[in-house]
Amino acid sequence: MSAMENNFSLVGCMEEVPDPRAPYNQKHKLLDIIVIAVTVILCGMDTWNEIEDWAKSKREWLGSFLELPGGIPSHDTINRVFQMIDPEKFHDAFFRWTGGVAGKIGGVVTTDEKTVRRSRDDAKGNRPAHVVSAWVCEASLVLGQLKVDEKTNEIKAIPELLDILCLKGCVVTIDAMGTQKEIAEKIIDKEVDYILQMKGNQERLMEDIVPFFEKDVFPCRKNELAEEGRHYKDICFDHGRQETREYYLENEIGWLKADHSEWKGLSGIGACVSTVIEKGAATQSISYSIYSRAGWELRNIESPKGRTGE
């Protein structure tokens, strides 16, 4: 491995985290403990006991790139060490690693805001914690996370994530809350493309986009739209629930760009008509989006939760 590659490897990045322990009676290397924990969590384990059990089952493989002078650390040891580690130093090292990985990843990167379970503590006056994540859809990998105090602060966290991560060549998808002119501009300036979901928070755009699809697109013959690459249908079945999604897009939007030049990179608009049939009842919803990559094939349009409009 070259020096450049090592700088962005998990081991190379985690070497930057300072050891908070006393310099004597150390049975395990800090680097080993951190890399084991991160690796196991990426494999889907989420308790200290599971980390220990999984690491023991992969002892030979872990030993191929870690020293492990004391063998596999116990779950108590891993837990205790992580309580002592400087969270900001670990955060910086982890972001440096995921940033390096992101530079080698193509495809769709979505931002997602979630409330951390059991983070509310009324007795202590602690409000629920919210986390904004950058997620690589194809690789099922979280590139980075930022904690925000309030759900509405997702708008502030997204630009910070964009500054930290190297996403050149990727496509960033964001739900309606993050659809802001300033965020669109930052994405384009980072040499990244975007798909931004539209709702009532962008009233001027919706006033132009919705009538266009209703009058000029939805009434058209679907087979003709499909031949032009402007329509695609997807049907999903899940535990007695059927969802049919019909995707529409339009790349010829000179008329829209002329009135909305403040949206940097705007190149096309999309719509998704979702029909759900469950227990004999059908419900329908329609969502809209804007995107920056001109001439996109409709199958490439992905929403913040998988496809446009979810």
Give the per-residue pLDDT at 122: 57
Give the residue, 99 or 161, on which the prediction is more confident.
161
Residue 5 pLDDT level (bands cut at 50, 70, 90): very low
Domains in the chain: boundaries: 19-85, 101-195, 197-300
Instruction: State the average pLDDT over residues 217-242.
Output: 92
Lowest mean pLDDT, pick from 7-21, 147-161, 207-221: 147-161
Give the per-residue pLDDT at 307: 37
CA distance 246 to 297: 14
Closest by alpha carbon to 8, among 90, 88, 94?
94
Give the residue, 106 or 163, on which the prediction is more confident.
163
Q: Domain 101-195 classified CATH 3.40.50.300?
A: no
Instruction: Summarize pLDDT for 34-48 with one digit per residue, the tens.
Output: 999 999 988 888 899
CB 288 within 8 A of CB 196: no
Classify residue 40 as left (phi > 0), alpha (psi -120 to 50) or beta: alpha
Looking at the predicted structure, is the pLDDT value of residue 308 above 60?
no
| Ranges 12-26, 89-103, 250-264, most confident | 250-264
Strand partners, 135: 110, 142
CA distance 176 to 306: 14
* pTM assigned to the model: 0.65
**C-alpha distances in Å from residue 8, one per residue of 18, 45, 100, 158:** 17, 24, 5, 23
CA distance 269 to 289: 6
Give the per-residue pLDDT at 92: 84
CATH of domain 197-300: 2.20.130.10
| Ranges 20-29, 83-92, 216-225, 295-304, most confident | 216-225
Q: What is the mean pLDDT of the chain?
A: 83
